[in-house]
Amino acid sequence: MQQTEPSNTVRKEIKSQYFTLLGVLIIILIFYFLWRPLNPERTAYIPLNQQVQTTVLENVVVGNASIEIVEDSSVTDANEVVESSDQPEDEIVKDEIDQVIDQDDNTVQYTVSRGDTLYGIMMRYGVNRSDIYLLTDQYKQLANLRIGQQISWNTDAEHNLTSFTWIISSNNVRIYERSGDKFAERIETREGIWKPFNISGEIGSNFVVDAKNLGLTSSEIATITKALQWQFDFRRLQKGDKFSVLFSREMFDNKHENSQLLAVRIKNGSKDYYAILADDGLYYDMNGGSLSQSFLRYPLVKQARISSGFNPRRLNPVTKKVTPHNGVDFAVSRGTPVLSVGEGEVVIAKYSGSAGNFIAIRHGRQYTTKYMHLDKILVKPGQQVKKGDQIALSGNTGRSTGPHLHYELHIDGKPVNPLTANLPVSEGLTGKSKTTFLEQFKEIKPKLQFSSEKKPDTASDVVANNVTK
């Protein structure tokens, strides 16, 4: 008996069913691979709160991103702890230069710059808001901060303000100390004599050790390394490299407490690097050019919603304990490109405990940025990156309640609010300011010469010791 072949219609139906089934299978596989954690064995998932209310506060477009800030008023079950942990297991290894820059205690020193207000400055560092109000309401004169003035303050472990110091001038220092529910003012008016000092030296072991041996203080060394942090790496100074420093010290009975760096020159191999103080309180190179590298405000290129803001005094609603949130959480989907906000060196790029896939980048000497809960890391430790380079893809690794990017900015070893912090800018001097600066540099340059470059006119000049302590 002869068998009849299936008709064209039947064959088309079979093919259609086959391709439909194949398509469904492909979609399932794509969904699985997109949403599964990068490292299931080391990822702890916490159920998302089922009762969440969010109120949009504002939509801000600044720099390279559009940021929608929200307030999360989540309601949680008293028996269920729902939170993210952003504490990496790995810490950045500090060297001798970090030791003189980073402040390990709760003291913060700050130089007032254009546009600053006391409230804005201290909020960036997470000082208790009510303490700031209390201080500024009690002493209205604190609204008169001037560009270039030095301020400092101390806080306790919970960021409550304990003391505040305002250096109005060299002989007018005001100190405000906490006493119960108010601050008490103390004024110091000691009259010191400012004297110029010039110190020259040669690298024998490393810059910090050699500078200290010649009489420079840790604070003065920190100022030098900050001024030239974008020009070269102080760790790469070699034996035989030279440095010359010009500064002014306020003397009290042959002792000094305050000083100001006026100019510094460092010769690294055949290259000279200068940092000269200008009238605006900033340092510039010998041509009036900027010594800074500009930063991006945000590590993203597309619109993002802030699901959790910077809050070093965040109170856990369940444990009632202060659990600092030292960065900003951007609610972005898995796989969103993450950018380096500035030029720097990758110092950590690995899976690191509850922070998940974690990247830390050192920018110069003062600045460090951290990126956590990443899906994929695209850089390696020791790699140099530029501003805007793609370094990772956002994800949901580590202890995380959902896909997002946790981003932190640290200045002088302390976390600050990355959305409001003063970021370095790369603008040089122009016009009259530049003309004045170049005239000043003509007078300063000879004072930064090394002994081998000087042409003495008398025998006494030959034997003169150019190191003054």
For the chain, domain boundaries: 42-90+294-428, 114-147+149-188, 196-280+430-463
Angle at 90 between CA 375 and CA 219, to 5 degrees: 125
Enumerate residues 6+ apart whose C-beta is below 8 A from 35.
Answer: 334
Question: Do strands 344-351 and 384-385 pair parallel, antiparallel, or not at all (unpaired)?
Answer: antiparallel
Query: Radius of gyration over alpha carbons of the chain, in Å?
Result: 29
Residue 465's Cβ-count burial label (10 Å; 0-12, 13-18, 19+) is: exposed
Residue-level pLDDT at 61 = 39
Biggest distance spanned by C-alpha atoms of the chain: 127
What does each of the 469 residues of the chain score in pLDDT, given as a tens digit?
Answer: 455 555 666 566 666 777 777 777 777 776 655 544 444 333 333 332 223 333 333 444 334 444 444 433 333 333 333 345 688 888 888 777 777 766 556 778 888 877 788 988 888 888 888 999 999 999 999 988 988 888 989 988 778 899 999 988 767 889 999 988 899 999 988 777 888 899 999 999 889 999 999 999 888 998 999 899 999 888 889 999 999 999 998 887 777 777 889 999 999 999 999 999 998 888 999 999 999 888 999 999 877 889 889 987 776 544 567 778 899 999 999 999 999 999 999 999 999 999 999 999 999 888 999 999 999 999 999 999 999 999 999 999 998 889 999 999 999 888 999 988 888 777 899 999 999 999 999 999 999 999 888 765 544 443 334 444 3
Helix (H, G, I), strand (E, B) or coil at 180: coil
Residue-level pLDDT at 280 = 83
Q: What are the tokens at 349?
A: 């790029």
DSSP annotation of 45 reads B
Matching CATH number, 42-90+294-428, of 2.40.37.10, 2.130.10.10, 2.70.70.10, 3.40.50.720: 2.70.70.10
Q: Is there a contact between 436 and 279 (Cβ–Cβ < 8 Å)?
A: yes
Number of Cβ within a 10 Å radius of residue 337: 15
Neighbouring-strand partners of residue 179: 182
Q: Is there a contact between 275 and 247 (Cβ–Cβ < 8 Å)?
A: no
Matching CATH number, 196-280+430-463, of 3.10.450.350, 3.20.20.80, 3.40.640.10, 3.40.50.300: 3.10.450.350
Q: Do domains 42-90+294-428 and 114-147+149-188 have the same CATH topology?
A: no
C-alpha 428/C-alpha 281 separation (Å) is 13
Question: What phi-psi label fits residue 25: left (phi over 0), alpha (psi between -120 and 50 degrees) or beta?
Answer: alpha
Neighbouring-strand partners of residue 275: 264
CA–CA distances in Å: residue 330 to residues 72, 152, 323, 352, 387: 13, 31, 19, 20, 19
CATH class of segment(s) 114-147+149-188: alpha beta
Q: Where are the alpha helices (DSSP H) in 126-202?
A: 129-138
